[in-house]
Amino acid sequence: MENIPILEVENLYKRFGTCEVLSGISFNVRKGEVVAVIGPSGSGKSTMLRCINLLEKIEGGSIRVAGDVMVTTDKSGKVIYAPEKELRKIRLRLGMVFQSFNLFPHFSVMRNITEAQVHVAKKSPQEAAEIARELLEKVGLSDKADAYPYQLSGGQAQRVAIARALAMNPDILFFDEPTSALDPELTAEVLKAMQDLAAEHMTMVIVTHEMNFARDVSDRVIFMDKGVIVEEGKPSDIFTNPQNERTRAFLKGFMDQF
Amino acid sequence: MFENMNFSGIWQNFSSVPGDLLRQLKLLGIGTLTSLEIFVLTLVFSLPLGLLVAFGRMSRNKIVSTVIKAYILVMRGTPLMLQLIFIYFAPSYMLPESLKINLDRFVAAIIAFSLNYAAYLAEIYRAGIESIALGQYEAAAVLGFTKSQTFFRIILPQVIKRILPPVGNEVITLVKDTALVTTLGISELFRAARNESARISSTTPLFIAGVFYLIMNYVVTKVFDMLEKKLSYYR
Ligand SMILES: Nc1ncnc2c1ncn2[C@@H]1O[C@H](COP(=O)(O)OP(=O)(O)OP(=O)(O)O)[C@@H](O)[C@H]1O
Ligand SMILES: [Mg+2]
């Protein structure tokens, strides 16, 4: 069981119109692993996360979550998604945190975190509130339970979004540039929350432009460019000794700092 | 009908014949009840119907969206008074002899009003629904909410807050539009006022009717102010 990857992505293809955005992406994520995805703007990082989280339909390839097939492609090239019911089950194992937080503005912070627990996971309101309080404490926002999203700073909002995703107890949590919409001084508090999760061996895939964070916190770095994975490896290798020319060019600015 | 009216008689009537004034108030009060009935029933039917029409308008099914577009065009593009008359008389002209029904004028009025207002409301709903950020749908989807949970728990509450002002506009217009059913001979506020006005050759009843409409819309305005305030707890 421990050896089955939580996430297996194979030969993923995605087009928007005639523009091919993902051209055969393959990678695995193991339980407890923290994977950082880096790459230039437009390389398809967001699109990849969105395909895995069923926000976009793929044109080819397969995705398995904990061994269960979410989508696969047959020999004739036909893409076959699992039945709706199965997809709903698989989806509950995935959590996602967006760049723009996407909190529900009409719900209090507490209700943002409890709503899906109660109405999707069918937990009792008491249990959901209990879990929400624990998670809020974990992200350092116990005093904001009754606040509304418009009353939060960006950093606080993103930490609530993280708590909201964690409340569904996902096997793997995806982040799409979680700090890109934040001022530098607010970025730190969100990165800290994510670092705490990493320390608890939460399985995470993080698209980020925070190279220091990728280097210090991730177990593996994936470098994407133009819809393909150009290079992947330990952060120490990728950041100090990139093999590919494109990786080197991309990291040039950052490597000088190290 | 208006030719023998004495337009200077308003104040005369107010001061000199209090007994007559009471009679007028009572007559117009009864008419007002009918107007209110039409008003309430139209809202009860058109508010949900408008949502269905909005869904049809936004449907990805080309046939559905085209039919609904045509429906909205006709409803907004022709006079409501004409629609009233059409719906009242059409069944008895267009249906074959054996199927002929005589639509009650009140029922015809409610049908015409509901169909007409649903078209306007649908466009308001649509604007509201389309103004909600895609991120709200996506956040709901990754949390596992079903489509209908997403709509009713996440989207619709936000839509309602945003469309309150334009819906308020429609509701105020509806109060005044109820006067149109007088065309079908339903004795509501406007008809009562006009008949009485002609009978006693005075504009007083019409003036009072105006005040009644104004009072109704004052209440409508207050209700919408209250709703807006109630939903102002978030942005
Ligand atoms: N809905 C869409 N319709 C058409 N093209 C799209 C759509 N979404 C993304 N694209 C295109 O796909 C390509 C990859 O976009 P994507 O957002 O995945 O890149 P990214 O690596 O996340 O970039 P960034 O670092 O700027 O976030 C871009 O060229 C973009 O213009
Ligand atoms: Mg992106």
Atom of ligand 1 nearest to the CA of A99: 27
Report the pLDDT value the prediction gives residue B7, as an integer from 0 to 100.
47
Inform me whether the pLDDT recorded for B3 exceeds 50.
no
State how far the Cα of B138 lies from the Cα of B51, in Å rounded to an integer: 22
Q: Which residues contact B144 (CB under 8 A, 6 or more apart)?
A: A88, A91, A92, A116, A120, A121, A168
Instruction: Please calculate the CA angle B44-B45-B47 and round it to the nearest 5 degrees.
Output: 75
Q: Smallest Cα–Cα separation from A40: which of A250, A257, A237? A: A250
Alpha-carbon distance B47 to nearest alpha carbon in chain A (angstroms): 22
Alpha-carbon distance A81 to nearest alpha carbon in chain B (angstroms): 16
Report the pLDDT value the prediction gives residue B17, as an integer from 0 to 100.
55
Nearest to B233 among A104, A115, A148 (CB): A148
State how far the Cα of A93 lies from the Cα of A173, in Å rounded to an integer: 9
Q: Quick check: A85 contacting B, CB < 8 Å?
A: no
State how far the Cα of B92 lies from the Cα of B110, in Å rounded to an integer: 17
Buried b (16+ CB within 10 A) or exposed e, A183-195: eeebbebbbebbe
Q: Which class for A77: exposed (0-12), middle (13-18), buried (19 or more C-beta within 10 A)?
A: exposed
Question: Stretch B200-208: mean pLDDT, rounded?
Answer: 92
Question: pLDDT tens-digit profile of A106-116?
Answer: 999 999 999 99
Cβ-defined contact of B157 to A95 (cutoff 8 Å):
no
State how far the Cα of B124 lies from the Cα of B137, in Å rounded to an integer: 20
Instruction: Give the pair of three-digit tokens for residue A201.
Output: 């061996």
Q: Quick check: B144 contacting A, CB < 8 Å?
A: yes
Nearest to A105 among B146, B153, B158 (CB): B158
Query: What ranges in A33-150 are assigned the alpha helix state H?
Result: 45-52, 84-91, 109-119, 125-138
Residues of A in contact with B233 (CB under 8 A): 148
Closest ligand to B138 CA?
1
Q: How confident is the model at residue B77 (pLDDT cuts 50, 70, 90)?
A: very high
Closest ligand to A41 CA?
1
- Which position has the token pair 């723009």? A100
Which has the higher per-residue pLDDT, A207 or B17? Answer: A207
Report the pLDDT value the prediction gives residue B1, as an integer from 0 to 100.
44
Alpha-carbon distance B158 to nearest alpha carbon in chain A (angstroms): 7
State how far the Cα of A201 lies from the Cα of B25, in Å rounded to an integer: 78
Inform me whether the pLDDT recorded for B11 exceeds 70.
no
Residues of B in contact with A149 (CB under 8 A): 234
The number of beta carbons lying within 10 Å of the beta carbon of residue A24 is 14
Question: pLDDT tens-digit profile of B119-175?
Answer: 999 999 999 999 999 999 999 999 999 999 999 999 999 999 999 999 999 999 999
Q: Which residues line ligand 1 (CB under 6 A)?
A: A 16, 21, 39, 41-47
Interface test with A, best of B132, B134, B137, B143 (most A CBs within 10 A): B143
Inform me whether the pLDDT recorded for B85 exceeds 90.
yes
Q: Are A250 and A223 in contact (CB under 8 A)?
A: yes
CA of A200 to the centre of ligand 1 (A): 32
CA of B158 to the centre of ligand 2 (A): 27
Helix (H, G, I), strand (E, B) or coil at A118: helix
Instruction: Give the pair of three-digit tokens for residue A172.
Output: 């793997």
Q: Smallest Cα–Cα separation from A215: which of A193, A186, A240? A: A240
Report the pLDDT value the prediction gives residue A258, as an integer from 0 to 100.
53
Cβ-defined contact of B144 to A168 (cutoff 8 Å):
yes
Report the pLDDT value the prediction gives residue A2, as an integer from 0 to 100.
56
Instruction: Give the A:B interface size as CB pairs under 8 Å.
Output: 62
Orientation angle between helical segments A125-138 and A154-166, nearest 10 degrees? 130
Question: Stretch B186-212: mean pLDDT, rounded?
Answer: 93
Enter the pTM of the model.
Answer: 0.90
Q: Which residues contact B122 (CB under 8 A, 6 or more apart)?
A: B50, B51, B53, B54, B56, B57, B68, B72
Q: Quick check: A121 contacting B, CB < 8 Å?
A: yes
Which has the higher per-residue pLDDT, A202 or B1? Answer: A202
Question: Which residues of chain A fall short of a pLDDT of 50?
Answer: 1
Q: Which class for A154: exposed (0-12), middle (13-18), buried (19 or more C-beta within 10 A)?
A: middle
State how far the Cα of B100 lies from the Cα of B97, in Å rounded to an integer: 5
Q: In the predicted model, what is the mean pLDDT of chain B? A: 91
Inform me whether the pLDDT recorded for B93 exceeds 90.
no
Which residues are placed with Cβ below 5 angstroms of ligand 2, an ion? Answer: A 46
Q: Are B100 and B93 in contact (CB under 8 A)?
A: no
Closest ligand to A20 CA?
1
Cβ-defined contact of B144 to A91 (cutoff 8 Å):
yes
Write the ipTM. 0.94
Q: Quick check: A99 contacting B, CB < 8 Å?
A: no
Q: How confident is the model at residue B103 (pLDDT cuts 50, 70, 90)?
A: confident
Secondary structure of chain B: what % helix, strand, coil (to 5)? 85, 0, 15
Domain B20-234 fold: MetI-like fold (1.10.3720)
State how far the Cα of A164 lies from the Cα of A122, in Å rounded to an integer: 15
Length of chain B: 235
Nearest to B143 among A54, A120, A149 (CB): A120
Report the pLDDT value the prediction gives residue B19, as an integer from 0 to 100.
72
State how far the Cα of A62 lies from the Cα of A52, in Å rounded to an integer: 10
Question: Looking at ligand 1, which residue's alpha carbon is closest to its atom 13?
Answer: A42
Instruction: Please calculate the CA angle A164-B234-B230 and round it to the nearest 5 degrees.
Output: 130
Q: What is the DSSP string of A153-179?
A: -HHHHHHHHHHHHHTT--SEEEEESTT
Residues of B in contact with A98 (CB under 8 A): 135, 138-139
- In single-letter form, the type of residue at position A90 comes to I
How far apart, in Å, are the Cα atoms of A59 and each of A36, A63, A78, A96, B12? 24, 12, 8, 22, 82
Alpha-carbon distance A222 to nearest alpha carbon in chain B (angstroms): 23
Q: Are A95 and A174 in contact (CB under 8 A)?
A: yes
Inform me whether the pLDDT recorded for B4 exceeds 60.
no
Instruction: Give the pair of three-digit tokens for residue A9.
Output: 């992505």
Report the pLDDT value the prediction gives residue B96, as an integer from 0 to 100.
74
Atom of ligand 1 nearest to the CA of A207: 22
- In single-letter form, the type of residue at position B51 comes to L
